[in-house]
Structure 1
Amino acid sequence: MVFHPPSWVPQLPIDPPDSVPLAEFMRQEQFGRHPSSHSRNPFTCGLTGRTYPVAEFFQRSELIARALAKRLGWSPNEGTAWDKVLAIFSLNTIDYITAAYGVHRLSGIVTPANAAYSAEELQHQLRSSGTKALITCVPLLETALRAAKGAGIPEKNVFILDLPGLKGKHDRAFTSVEDLVSEGRKLAELEELRWVRGQGARQAAFLCYSSGTSGLPKAVMISHRNIIANVLQHTTYESVGRRQRGVDVQNVLGFLPFSHIYALVVIAHSCTFRGDGIVVLPKFDFVPFLKSVQEYKINQLILVPPVIINMLQNKDICRKYDLSSVRFVFSGAAPLGDETIREVQEMYPAWTIAQAYGMTETSVVVTSPSEHDIYPRASGSLLPSIKAKIIDADGNEVTEHEKPGELLIQSPAVVLGYLNNEKATSETFVFHDDGRWIRTGDEAVMAVSPSGNEQIVIVDRIKELIKVKGYQVAPAELEAHILAHPYVSDCAVIQIPDPKSGEVPKAFAVKASLAASLADDEVAKAIVKHVADHKAPYKWIKGGVEFLPEIPKSPSGKILRRLLRDQEKAARKKTGAKL
């Protein structure tokens, strides 16, 4: 059975254009962009207040393109996109997207790199993507230079983004992005891009590396039309709730890394397309985060669960700041438990809190909450022009509500595939009689909200579900429950072998300050009892509790359970325990 968006979801106003570069789509009001004259400035530095109006933002990207064309020998209409790949390895700045659009103006490809990468990890991305030039920032410069050298990129092709308030040391002169803007003013105008029909659907705009938890991550080829489609899908979907709330334009906080698909599309593109202003912070720091919400009167927070947990654990600090401007909290990238949502709403009753679902391979958003239909256990309804199937363990299509299976998605935002990885592409992107679908690898159920609308509930990653005596246990459910205990500041749950049950849950926990002086055994017993008091016996933490200084996570907040499983296997191998 194919599931569709609820009847209240509007159709897309236009078919996502397939021959228009992303930046041109974002600039032209004919495609539905909020009128520039009534839009907030797209990006404002939360530390200095520096900002540009819409017209200047796009002009700066044009000037950067001119300078890059001269320095790198790139032409808008000569060579292939794969000859013009540039990596951005930087913390967030107001010129991050400006620089990306400069590359797109030359019909090139941008590969955003995780700012937490080591030189070796960055080198892998530079090599595998065929990167010819690199934009970084001073705090990351030494890592960038080591990686660039290993990838054969000359130092003259390394450029620097300005990061106010964040300093680093270097004793060499590098060209800054601001230098490129100044240089571009003195150069002749570039020829117009001459794209053929369908080029935007075939040509990659971004190479985003999926968050691998072990081994080397895969390069996801995301076309211009993929991003355009998701921007149209998300803004069209959210227009209903915004209209009912009387929201025209608003301020949004942009501290999530623009290198990750979540912030890259939802914050840097969907929000600016509908005229919102993005207040940019280089990274997440708790107090600057709170100050920015207060100073810039942020209306919508786009977060990941670790930030929300941080707020709950630091309520006294939060109360020092006026966060009353916030009306909507949008959480993604990892599941947010019911207990956590209730606790936040007790703290801030006026906030609407909801979570969305998506992945890099769908150009991010698949389901989203609407402000007029919030169902805490679910991740919202399907966006317009998205279809879903749920396939059970026997390979049959699920036709009823609340029956679990693997979620498959069909959407114009589903990406081209993985770069130079035909095996992974063929395994993930499959063809049925009704077209091309992506296997998400997530177990889901289709539920019905109290209002009668179908919404998707993501249970967990299929490969991470714990099988206890034939029952499936979702680590995310137990993690959300354990986090509600006052002794725990963070946690993760994995499966370990058990001779009687097959597998049982094991918890890894970080002690909260309240439990800092308590013995590990005492805290472990409290955690085990907390689960046993509220969950069915097959969900009990029979694999024990281990304490860590921190839970390993990706920059987007996903728990790296595979890393914990690998560490557990290594430890069990040393002791001779069953693997």
Structure 2
Amino acid sequence: MFYPQFTKTVGKIPDDITITDWIFENRAQNGLETAFIDSSTGEHRSWKDVEAITRQLARGLTKLLGVKVGDDAVYGLFAPNIMEVPTSIWAALLLGGIVTGMNPAYTTEEVKHQLTETSAICLFTCKALLPVAKPACGDTVRKIILLDGSAPGCMSFADVLALGKDVPALPRLKLAAGENQKRLAFLSFSSGTTGKPKGVMISHYNVIANSIQNSSFYDCDPRKGLSEGAVTLGLLPFYHIYGLVVILHTEVYMGNTIVLMPAFDLEKFLDNAMKFRITKMFLVPPLVVRLTKDPSVAKRGKPLETVNEVFCGAAPLAPQLMNDLRRIIAPGGVFRQGYGMTETCTTSLITHVDDQWDGSVGVVIPDVVLKIVTPEGKEVTEYDTPGELWVKGPSVTLGYYKNQKATDECYILDKTDNKMWLVTGDEAVVRKSPGGKEHFFIVDRLKELIKVKGLQVAPAELEAALLEHEAVADAAVIGVESEREGELPYAFVVLHEGQPKTKDTKESILKSIEATKAKFKWIKGGLEFMDVIPKSASGKILRKDLRTMVRSRAKL
């Protein structure tokens, strides 16, 4: 097994408090003023206002929805990173509710699936997304709350705040010792190691634990009176576990101001970096590619000269790209990589400033134990020996919502301490750095997922959609490399007898996917017709053979 190489443990993790109370108590002790800055308007929102709005919104929700403190109702969130999102999340959690976030790129069908699966009683969204959101709301959704204005049939954020103005202060949700370890805070949807997206059950304890683990690893634990005071770019979406935990909770806990940016636009990105003097950025590899390859960046002079720390996750990043990025940020700036999953409530491995090694995804963070297991089930004890990565620690989540079969496949009980191992589906090796520390390298993806701009795409989901087309008899989907997106879906299709292998047939199939799936799931890598999909004796698609075939053709 492999253990932390620097800080070993963070000590006692609060287990009797909600995330919202934990955030506000910490901020009161810290005393920092500005919580968030809206990059679009320049508005600064203080911590005093954030807390007041959150509590008043929670009171308004009790009146609007008929809920009370302690009810574990589910609240849907379908919006980009705007000023009202953090307070909406924390108001729901303050009441004991559960938040399920959705990608703003989702189609009506995808939003409807998640709202139905979770029985959400309310949906927070914005005007631009209303044409998608409104028809997605089924019988369980009592109200749609617009975060940025008003519209017929919806309550505005301001209206809900007004409802809460005259409601008496709510009682605190009191939790017994250990209760927040099991109390759900988020249902974040992930494809796991295979299959269609499933709701990952994330507890209050998971989020608090990972936030403290990360801050201690950075030597910025507020419990020791330490505060980083960085200005952090809040671009990565809060519906996704990376932005939700690493930015919205860890960065806030560390005393940093978040500059909210609702979507990526290169010119606005560079403008914001200079205007707000951003010092810290969290990115994914496709964004790094854009920043280092797009000639318009160099034309702006040194737009990232105030950035002294960059963290890149969601997929491995080539060492050359790291070097290219170092040249355009502040001299001596720190570049970190990390590894995590929705199921581990983000990070388990992070680059340490005192032992950076390009290509590595870092070293083990405090209170986490990792092991590498061969296909035969034997634990690896030697360096440079590949196997599947298993993770154990306080942020490992509770399993998949209403899916015991998938939970049993990925969460394995360690009978020595009654804690769960998370089977990641990623192949890794451990190597000792020149500095003598054990670093992890991800060498392959055993799981079938495709990563498009850091977002998960499940081949099984696209294959099922392809099979709904009248011309398709069988299908297989793999990921192919793309410099800008990381990977793109590539489809192999077997047609029913008599169906023509024509350009029109191909376009018809592709349009059927585009009509029902979010844009990042579209089959942009290519589609080709086959006579038969290669499968094992048990009927499993031989994706490795398909990937090898595509790669060999690319080399010709």
Q: Same fold (TM over 0.5)?
A: yes
- Structure 2 match to 1:296: 276
- Structure 2 match to 1:313: 293
Q: What is the alpha-carbon distance in structure 2 between the residues aligned to residue 556 and residue 227 of structure 1?
A: 28
Give secondary structure in 1 for the equivalent of 2:34.
Answer: coil
Shift of 1:213: 10
Q: What is the alpha-carbon distance in structure 2 between the residues aligned to residue 274 and residue 575 of structure 1?
A: 51
Larger mean CA deviation between 183-192 and 127-136 belongs to: 183-192
- Structure 2 match to 1:447: 431
Give secondary structure in 2 for the equivalent of 1:74.
Answer: coil
Give 1:193-272 correspondences, 5 Å limit: 193-211=173-191, 216-239=196-219, 248-272=228-252
1:160 aligns with 2:158: no
Give 1:64-463 correspondences, 5 Å limit: 64-77=57-70, 80-81=71-72, 84-148=73-137, 150-154=138-142, 157-162=143-148, 172=152, 174-211=154-191, 216-239=196-219, 248-320=228-300, 322-348=303-329, 350-434=332-416, 435-463=419-447
Q: What is the alpha-carbon distance in structure 2 between the residues aligned to residue 26 and residue 249 of structure 1?
A: 16
Larger mean CA deviation between 414-423 and 93-102 belongs to: 93-102
Distance 1:209-1:490 versus aligned 2 partners, 3 A rule = closer
TM-score by structure 1 length?
0.76
- Structure 1 match to 2:46: 53
Q: Is 1:204–1:221's contact at 8 Å kept on the other side of the alignment? A: yes
Q: What is the alpha-carbon distance in structure 2 between the residues aligned to residue 327 and residue 146 of structure 1?
A: 45
Q: What is the alpha-carbon distance in structure 1 between the residues aligned to residue 490 and residue 420 of structure 2?
A: 33
Larger mean CA deviation between 387-396 and 430-439 belongs to: 430-439
Q: What is the alpha-carbon distance in structure 2 between the residues aligned to residue 428 and residue 247 of structure 1?
A: 36
- Structure 1 match to 2:529: 571
Q: Is 2:319–2:358's contact at 8 Å kept on the other side of the alignment? A: yes
Structural RMSD (CA): 3.3
Deviations 1:369-393 (CA, angstroms, capped at 9, x unpaired): 1222211110111110000010012
Q: What is the alpha-carbon distance in structure 2 between the residues aligned to residue 88 and residue 215 of structure 1?
A: 23
1:36 aligns with 2:30: yes
Q: Is 1:40–1:275's contact at 8 Å kept on the other side of the alignment? A: no
Give 1:482-561 correspondences, 5 Å limit: 483=483, 492=487
Shift of 1:334: 1.2
Q: Is 2:16–2:179's contact at 8 Å kept on the other side of the alignment? A: yes
Shift of 1:290: 0.8
- Alignment-mate amino acid for residue 134 of structure 1: L
Give secondary structure in 1 for the equivalent of 2:430.
Answer: strand
- Structure 1 match to 2:504: none
- Structure 2 match to 1:3: 2
Shift of 1:300: 0.8
Q: What is the alpha-carbon distance in structure 2 between the residues aligned to residue 432 and residue 47 of structure 1?
A: 48
- Alignment-mate amino acid for residue 105 of structure 1: L
Q: What is the alpha-carbon distance in structure 2 between the residues aligned to residue 422 and residue 214 of structure 1?
A: 14
Distance 1:132-1:402 versus aligned 2 partners, 3 A rule = same
- Alignment-mate amino acid for residue 161 of structure 1: L
Shift of 1:255: 1.0
Q: What is the alpha-carbon distance in structure 1 between the residues aligned to residue 60 and residue 101 of structure 2?
A: 20
Larger mean CA deviation between 447-456 and 260-269 belongs to: 447-456
Distance 1:142-1:571 versus aligned 2 partners, 3 A rule = same
TM-score by structure 2 length?
0.79
- Alignment-mate amino acid for residue 74 of structure 1: V
Give secondary structure in 1 for the equivalent of 2:197.
Answer: coil
Deviations 1:210-233 (CA, angstroms, capped at 9, x unpaired): 157996310000000010110010
Shift of 1:441: 0.4
Deviations 1:167-214 (CA, angstroms, capped at 9, x unpaired): xxx862632223222332222111222323322111110000015799
Shift of 1:494: 9.0
Larger mean CA deviation between 133-142 and 363-372 belongs to: 363-372
Distance 1:35-1:192 versus aligned 2 partners, 3 A rule = closer
Shift of 1:357: 0.4
Runs of 5+ unmatched residues, structure 2: 450-477, 493-509, 536-544, 547-556
Give secondary structure in 2 for the equivalent of 1:356.
Answer: strand
Shift of 1:564: 7.6
Q: What is the alpha-carbon distance in structure 2 between the residues aligned to residue 11 and residue 415 of structure 1?
A: 19
Give 1:464-483 correspondences, 5 Å limit: 479=481, 483=483
Give secondary structure in 2 for the equivalent of 1:239.
Answer: coil
Deviations 1:258-302 (CA, angstroms, capped at 9, x unpaired): 100000000000001010000001111111111110011111110
